[in-house]
Structure 1
Amino acid sequence: MKEFITKDPDNSPEDFLKLNREIINGTANGKVLWQPRIDCWYDDRIFTHGKLSGQYEGMSRMELYRELGCSARLYEYNNCLERFEIEPVMRRSEKLSQLHTRHYIETPLGTLTYIESRNKSNGGSYKSEWMVKSEKDIRKLIWLENNTHWKFNRENWILNNTLYKNLGLPCLFIQRINIQHAIIDTFGYECTVEWLYDNPKIMEEYFEASENSAMRSINALALSPFEWINFGDNIHGRLITNEWFEKYILPAYHRRCETLKRAGKFTFAHWDGDCAPILKYAKESSLDAIEAISPLPQGDVTLEEIKEALGDEVFLIDGIPAILFDEIYPIQQLEAMVEKLIDLFAPKLILGISDEMSSTGDIERIRFVGEIVDKYNASL
């Protein structure tokens, strides 16, 4: 990597929105944006202690970003896309215990139920019972997807602009791509695989309904002020076959991207699992960028393999393995990784953490990476 010519850094919080925009539009003159996600680290401390400690005591999430001198991936703007149903749907919940809640979705075809569970160590939740137990449940889900519509909430947009001013471009993630929506949101993994093998026809009906719903959200977003839009797919390349990727995911990516790019939007998807089996689809996907690819020593691909797959066409968003923010890894290893990422991927790089810094990470390493990026940008 070339020697940095140290000048006064010009990458201040007031510049992050502008730089974010310039990078995705290719007008940043080679600069890199440091945009880590620290939600897990922050949320676990708030859950456990009710506040941050030490020099960051009393700070909100966004105040912490400003203090650390880095940009934020502003998924807080998810509240600007609202779901509604043409035919009213009754939703209710029943508390089963302190940690378990059964949810009911009443449709004209019958009631869907699932159980949401929590634990005592953090504020997260997961489905311990899924919606689909029979073919009748799939029919109810198809009806629900067909009845789902979306609208842009301008009031929330205006409020968010006040709350998160200049920390980055407003961002949101939309409904996961067909098979991932089934795996993560409705069927669960085992049930999705079983139905794909046993009755692919009804699964394809469900995929079509879920993608049509997603396209209605995309049509609403195409008319909105959003400039970049994420497909929050959470893809793990070893849980889906190449046949499924080619048959279901790629055509849906093409359809989504065609509409959004026609409206001038930048598109990216979240591939945060093993990526070796699917990296070859990056250029073919029509996506402008891939978010959260995890290289070695955390993931299953090297930086060189990622670069070969993305080429000079596709942006990399993130790229630093999250584990390098833990003190068990020497800070020199983190520094070398950052420098190599900039060498290989700038200017098509929004530097971040793949996927998020863990609750055991050293928050001061966020500031350390920011200093490297500041010096690099000042040297241009």
Structure 2
Amino acid sequence: MNFREATIRTFQRKGNDRIVWQPRLCYWYNGNQVSKPPSEVRQEDLPYPKVPDRYRGKSVIGVHDLLNASIRYSGEGAGVGVFGRRVDQDAGISRETFEEGGSSITITKTPVGNLKTVRRGGYPAEFPVKNPDDCGIMRYILDHTDFYFDEENFRYADEVFGDRGTVQSFYSRSPFQSMIVEMMGAKNFFIQLHKHREEMESFMDYIGEWEDRIYDVLVKCPLEVLNFGENIDANLASPRFFEKYMVEYYNKRIRQLHRAGKFCHIHIDGAIKPLLPLLDLVEFDGVEAATPKPQGDVEIGELKEGMGDKILLDGIPAVLFIPVYTRDELRKFALEVLDTFSPNLILGVSDELPPTADITMMELVSDVVEKFEP
């Protein structure tokens, strides 16, 4: 049975003769300049464990093949996205980006006003939406924005993946998470929600309605498994907010996807323990990137109890691949995850393998998975 078949059978709950080993490696791959051959890399310039020459010059797919591992996302395995947004060229919307004082500044101009975004070191320093007035400008932008599926990119990714996995993708966040991660930032969002609750809730309702056009596309696309790329952290999406603003939204969208014959999972890569009692309320097939201790905030047994029969995607904390932990500690942890969650498991790294990881410790997990009987 190949990885593509085994991945789908895991979601179908049909049982497998193997556990799918599906680590996400791009962070490590890019940080270590793995695409370059050994002759072009000075290891002393990289503050990370030495990458064995057998990995040098390999593609991301090539590294997965060396590890006998499956791959998940089109953007990571094939370097292409399968979904996108397109702004109406006749809507009078333009963007200007320039550098100033070490920051990247983007001004989005519209007929109803302008929005300013600032990034420093690749991270947001100023979000585009600051107040309810800016919500009106963002509404205009979204009114003139479409969501589309890229058939050509999908066909390319599907060919690159072959039997290594089924092509998956994430797309847009839920209204609540969009406000925190993309539009306002957590601090200002909570301030504005407290001061202008009616206006902010109305805008989140609007985003939810706008996303109908996203799901009209998703239910018709050929992807069999879709990811809600939410980046949930219970310190921000607290149980109170999760239940009030997210549960109903999630279940509405999950049911749309299920009716179309698709499976879906949610990305919860931050604190999860306070949300465990609420996971029963949402109908996701699986949870991606849930992170046990010593990196996360839950024991493996607690996570299993909270998730019930939901599928765990990933499960081994990324820090265990850093050389401060021993190979025996990693082996023991991997076996505990396998024993606890099999067969409802697609094993991987929670969340991604860091540049500081020792890739030979990934080989250890490959060997553990190869010998494990579900």
TM-score, normalised by the number of residues in structure 1: 0.89
Taking the TM superposition and a 5 Å limit, the aligned residue runs for 1:301-320 are: 301-312=298-309, 314-320=310-316
Q: % of aligned pairs identical?
A: 29
**What is aligned with 1:339?**
335
Give the match for residue 163 of structure 1.
160
Partner secondary structure for residue 70 of structure 1: coil
For 1:74, the equivalent position in structure 2 comes to 73
**Distance change >3 Å, CA 327–CA 366, structure 1 → 2:** same
Contact residue 289 and residue 349 of structure 2 kept, 8 A: yes
Segment drifting more, 210-219 vs 365-374: 210-219
* Structure 1 counterpart of 2:268, from 267, 271, 296: 271
Q: Deviations over 1:3-52 (max 9, x none)?
A: xxxxxxxx7xxx21121112111223363100011111111122998767
Could you tell me how far apart the structure 2 residues matched to 1:42 and 1:91 are? 35
Provide the rounded CA distance (Å) in 2 between the counterparts of 1:161 and 1:115. 36
Rounded to whole Å, the distance in 2 between the matches of 1:28 and 1:248 is: 35
* Mapped partners of 1:75, 1:210: distance in 2: 26
What one-letter code is carried by the residue in structure 2 that aligns with 1:109? Answer: V
Partner SS state of residue 32, structure 2: helix
Gaps of 5+ in 2: 42-50
| Equivalent position to 1:88, from 87, 91, 96 | 91
Aligned to 2:60: 61
Counterpart CA distance in 2 for 1:315 and 1:337 is 18
Counterpart of 2:32, as a letter, is R
Q: Structure 1: 5+ residue runs without aligned partners?
A: 1-10, 119-124
Contact 1:93–1:104 under 8 Å retained in 2: yes
Query: Paired residue for 1:234?
Result: 231
Q: Specify which structure has the bigger relative contact order, considering alpha-carbon pairs within 8 angstroms and separated by 6 or more residues.
A: 1
Distance in 2 of aligned mates of 1:195 and 1:47: 44
Indicate yes or no: 2:365 matched with 1:369: yes
Contact 1:151 1:220 in 2 (8 A): yes
Report the alpha carbon displacement of residue 145 of structure 1 after superposing the two structures with TM. 2.7
Give the letter for the 1:341 counterpart.
V
Change beyond 3 A, Cα 1:170–1:241: same
Q: Which amino acid aligns with 1:168?
A: G
The correspondence for 1:202, drawn from 199, 202, 206, is 199
Residues 229-279 of structure 1: CA deviation (Å, up to 9, x unaligned): 001100110123322111111111011101001001111110000111111
TM-score, normalization: structure 2? 0.90
- Taking the TM superposition and a 5 Å limit, the aligned residue runs for 1:166-177 are 166-177=163-174
Moved more, 221-230 or 78-87: 78-87
User: Which residue in the other structure is 1:256 paired with?
Assistant: 253
Aligned residues: 358
How much does 1:128 deviate? 1.3
Q: Which residue of 1 aligns with 2:14?
A: 27
Q: Which residue of 2 aligns with 1:326?
A: 322
